[in-house]
Amino acid sequence: MLVSRARAAEVVSTVVQNNSKSQQQVIECNGLENLLINFNFDDDMKVRTKAFGAISSLIRHNKIATDAFRLSNGYAGLREALASGDLRFQRNALQVMQYLLQENPKDHSVATQLGFLRSLTSLANSSDLDVRQAALQALVEIVRHQDTLSPGKFDDTTHLKDVVTRRVEEIKGLNQEDLAAVKEERQLVDTLWQLLYKEPSELRQEGLLVLPEDNQLPPDVASRQFEPGLQSLSAGAPSEPPTEQNRSQETKQPVLLLGP
């Protein structure tokens, strides 16, 4: 039964991806409701993850499914997924959350009131780079829109300030190779710092925000691999046929006479 539930969700995810007709058919047969039940309440993490993957594909570029997800307390499920401790589940939840925040600007206040700032701040400390960067991106979106909320309707950002300050110090201590690996994170941390403190971070002040190698093109390995072959082809290529001008020049060459 476990395999069938997970497999069924996987099939749905494949069928409805970027297919509006299939998305509509699944919605009409209450497929979203069944997926939400598995996503929110199934005991097996694999089933929950597969169901959530299908939900993600179903709501993508589909306003009806997106609205149904939001009205079905979908954000509460997202909050549970973020706190699950399962990296794949967390990555999926962060991707869906970013999509919802981009598609529905009013959801920034919903996310704030449901306490997502605390959940995302915790994930900003994750050892997983993808989770950490996705959490920082969502935090940027939420904090950027907190100024539009009424006083008392947004979370205290004290803990977030501590996390960002600590991450700035950690980035300052990285070597060049590790700095290159967190290029996007450097940008996000600096943006958050400016939103929280209304001033540039030390990453910008110390020249760590944009490194010279950030804008360098990757080495052209392919050309180097093909260059010897191209050279050999060039060396063995047949010469061009003589033109009329070449023939005339050849006939005009002086004849060298040998002998006395």
CB-neighbour burial class of residue 46 (10 A; exposed 0-12, middle 13-18, buried 19+):
middle
Q: Is residue 192 assigned to a domain? A: yes
pTM for the model stands at 0.75
Q: Is residue 34 assigned to a domain? A: no
CB-neighbour burial class of residue 169 (10 A; exposed 0-12, middle 13-18, buried 19+):
exposed
pLDDT band at 4 (very low <50, low <70, confident <90, very high): confident
Q: Is residue 22 assigned to a domain? A: no
Q: Is residue 139 assigned to a domain? A: yes
Q: Is residue 182 assigned to a domain? A: yes
pLDDT digits (tens, 9 = 90+) for 200-245: 999 998 999 887 766 654 555 445 544 555 455 455 555 555 555 5
Name the domain count of the chain. 1
pLDDT digits (tens, 9 = 90+) for 114-170: 889 999 999 999 999 999 999 999 999 999 887 655 444 455 789 999 999 999 999
Q: Is residue 33 assigned to a domain? A: no
Q: Is residue 238 assigned to a domain? A: no
Query: What's the pLDDT score for residue 135?
Result: 96
pLDDT band at 106 (very low <50, low <70, confident <90, very high): confident
Q: And the tokens for 73?
A: 């307390």
pLDDT at 69 over 90: yes
Which structural domain range is residue 122 located in?
Answer: 107-211
Do 186 and 208 form a contact (C-beta atoms < 8 A)? yes
Do 139 and 120 form a contact (C-beta atoms < 8 A)? yes
Query: What's the pLDDT score for residue 104?
Result: 86
Averaged pLDDT for residues 182-192: 94
Q: And the tokens for 142?
A: 């939420």
Q: Is residue 252 assigned to a domain? A: no
Query: What's the pLDDT score for residue 153?
Result: 47
Measured CA to CA, the distance from residue 120 to residue 138 in angstroms comes to 7
What is the percentage of the chain residues whose pLDDT exceeds 70? 77
Instruction: Annotate 136-172 with DSSP letters as a single string.
Output: HHHHHHHHHHGGGSPTTSS---HHHHHHHHHHHHHHH
Query: What's the pLDDT score for residue 145?
Result: 85
CA distances from 191 to 36, 64, 198, 237 (A): 35, 33, 10, 57
Query: What's the pLDDT score for residue 213?
Result: 65
pLDDT at 94 over 70: yes
